[in-house]
């Protein structure tokens, strides 16, 4: 599982460099149907090369030392067998829009990946028990993203590399929505339809691979480029 642990550490530091996490936040990657690995419970940008990640069961109690909100990860992995990576993050635009109790509309290309609509958990309390974790992921529905009022967001991807890109996309989606609100255009600005979103949300052309390359460039554990 060392390769998977390395990917988790690289993602954690990338999210820190991008300003999408600070003292708080966590990321994980699926091992198999029954287990996933989560990053160390400390500021993600400070996670050291080679530092151990913690195995967590998809079903059952959290291991000692694992943050309570990792129950959100458990709920997603249990419900979505195709999910390979989950990120809990606090990007500045995500935090601002979530604090308003709003979710962003699909207004630009990045937003298409969150069809049919970003979920909203309308509760400012931290999610540290099973009931709240269940309720929050219920509110996420079929979307790749969830905003939690006053507490940031969660994204889920087919891999942790994809989830890392989705975290960037969701924060940018919220940036666009805040700009529309500031301009007084939120009620009239164009919104991407479900049909347009299905066509736009492509994975072809190394869409997520290029975002991963961008966000992780210079990481000490990133494998050297092949020539």
Number of residues that this document lists for the chain? 227
Which of these, 76, 73, 53, 64, lies nearest to 1 by C-alpha position?
A: 53
225, with CB counted inside 10 A (0-12, 13-18, 19+), is exposed
- Residue 223, pLDDT score: 79
CA angle 51, 56, 60 (to 5 degrees): 160
What is the DSSP secondary structure assignment for residue 152, as one 8-state letter?
E
Within the chain, what is the greatest distance between any pair of CA atoms? 50
Which of these, 150, 157, 173, 10, lies nearest to 76 by C-alpha position?
A: 157
Residues near 178 by beta carbon (within 8 Å), at least 6 away in sequence: 93, 96, 97
- Residue 28, pLDDT score: 98
Domains and CATH numbers, the chain: 2-216 (3.40.225.10)
Q: Which residues of the chain have pLDDT under 70?
A: 225-227
């Amino acid at each position: 599982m060392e390769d998977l642990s390395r990917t988790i550490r690289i993602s954690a530091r990338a999210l820190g460099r991008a300003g999408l996490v600070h003292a708080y936040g966590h990321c994980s990657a699926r091992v198999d149907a029954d287990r996933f690995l989560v990053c160390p419970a400390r500021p993600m940008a400070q996670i050291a090369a080679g530092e151990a990640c913690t195995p967590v069961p998809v079903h059952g109690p959290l291991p000692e030392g694992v943050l309570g909100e990792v129950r959100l990860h458990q709920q997603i992995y249990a419900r979505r067998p195709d999910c390979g990576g989950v990120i809990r993050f606090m990007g500045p635009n995500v935090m601002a829009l979530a604090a308003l109790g709003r979710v962003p509309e699909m207004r630009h290309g990045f937003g298409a990946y969150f069809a049919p609509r970003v979920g909203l958990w309308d509760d400012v309390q931290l999610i540290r028990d099973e009931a709240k974790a269940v309720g929050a992921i219920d509110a996420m529905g079929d979307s790749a993203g969830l905003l939690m009022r006053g507490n940031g967001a969660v994204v889920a991807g087919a891999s942790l590399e994809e989830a890392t890109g989705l975290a960037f996309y969701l924060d940018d989606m919220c940036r666009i929505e805040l700009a529309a609100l500031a301009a007084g255009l939120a009620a009239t600005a164009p919104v991407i339809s479900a049909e347009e979103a299905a066509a736009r949300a492509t994975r072809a052309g190394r869409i997520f691979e290029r975002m991963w390359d961008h966000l992780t460039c210079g990481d000490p554990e990133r494998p050297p480029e092949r020539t």
